[in-house]
Amino acid sequence: MFEKINLLIPFGNFIRNKSLQNFLFLALIQSSTVLISIISMPLLIQSIGAEQFGWVNLSLSVIILFNILVGFGFNLSAPREVALNQSNKVELSQLVSNVFSAKLILALISTALILVGAYGLNLFQEYQTILVLSVFMLFSEATFPLWFFQGLEKMKLVSVATIFSKLLFLMGLVLFVQQPSQSIWVNFLLGISGLGVNLSLLLYIHVVLDVRFFSPQFSSIWKSLRDNVLLFFSNLASHISINGGLIILSFYASGATLGMYSLAERVVMILRLFPALIIQAIFPNSSKLYQADQPAFFTFLKKVYLGTLAIGALISSGTYLAAPWIIEVLSRGELNDAVGYLQLLAAIPFLACLNVGNVTILLVTNLRDLLFRASWMFCAYMICTSTLLTHFYGGAGLCISILSTELMVFFICMYLLYRHKKELLYGFYS
């Protein structure tokens, strides 16, 4: 019966392309994040207030910074290794064991650093408890097997599991976060719900997919860490450039201002996931095309790039026009400062789309040294400009700095490709 239905509905053939499947399921994961953020923001602002919302988001920014350490580039390098070893269960099992072991060790180190900073050095005083209870997010990141399913190009299960974890988080907010003093549980609930679902996915990988968990090979782990060090520092620099603004603003602004900026930034950074999602979705197929047929690779990448720019322009223009309505819906009130910040930041999704082609080329050609160089060049630019502009103009100055950083990222990557790999630059842009 189902076969007859499939014959009658040709749409079933539409999603057989692996890159399209990756995109759709990654989009489903990110869409669930967007939807839960949209639902949770007004709940949080009403229950804990704008000031505590600012501290929660600042803690989240710090944790995500440490999550870069936990990931250590494995989210970019491991899918390729899984794809190459998926037919060899022994090699795949050892690879999986090593990656999860490495990420758990890094999560423990990150937790220790946070605890020493909070209780040993008495840092993070205004949001110390919120931050400490947020460390479960580090272990959620360490056990999240997205890279494994991405390498297998089987994203359906991990997409559904991610949605389920977000729903658990939302239910926890409704049940346990109802007043400002309970803001300490927000990030804790996000971490513990993700960790529980991830452990279930690991059980599925072991029982159903017959992937065994061996004792970690520390020599292999150390080699992987050395191989990924440039990816780690590249990711760290990129994260600081994109999300470090809130930490810088915390040195100059009150909790209320942090809350206003956090609201606008949360909306824009959700939308900014679109170009990153495109890169993740096309990365496996782009790598294969580059190795097998470079003209086909450039043709494929050009088509994706033009479509990405068009959609990015629509996202940015729509965000600018709808900014007053978006803020009113999320906060259930008129927050003029947040509207102003959102309108300033609205161009970011489009500006981020400009660099999709350059970053994809750097990744598929394994030009990690150039990616590393580019990342730290625009990270240094962002830190200098944002510190200066935030000091004089507050949140508006920070918005201008972040916008200019997105443009600087594009020009730096273009310059480095021109200097070192002209043929790739000409092949793509010609």
pLDDT in tens, 110-155: 999 999 999 989 888 888 999 999 999 999 999 999 889 888 877 7
In whole angstroms, give the CA distance from residue 308 to residue 314. Answer: 10
pLDDT on residue 9: 39
* Cβ 386 vs Cβ 398: under 8 Å: yes
59 burial (CB, 10 Å; 0-12 / 13-18 / 19+) is buried
pLDDT on residue 140: 95
In whole angstroms, give the CA distance from residue 191 to residue 182. Answer: 16
Structure tokens at 65: 């910074």
Q: pTM surpassing 0.75?
A: no
Q: Which residues of the chain have pLDDT under 50?
A: 1-15
Residues in CB range of 32: below 8 A, 6 or more apart = 159, 162, 163, 166
* Cβ 263 vs Cβ 330: under 8 Å: yes
* Cβ 360 vs Cβ 286: under 8 Å: yes
| N residues, the chain | 430
CA proximity to 231, closest of 51, 79, 98, 14: 79
pLDDT on residue 169: 92
In whole angstroms, give the CA distance from residue 423 to residue 27. Answer: 32
* Cβ 48 vs Cβ 56: under 8 Å: yes
Task: Summarize pLDDT for 63-79 with one digit per residue, the tens.
Answer: 988 998 999 888 878 88
* Cβ 403 vs Cβ 349: under 8 Å: no
In whole angstroms, give the CA distance from residue 363 to residue 151. Answer: 15
In whole angstroms, give the CA distance from residue 350 to residue 316. Answer: 6
pLDDT on residue 132: 95
pLDDT on residue 342: 94
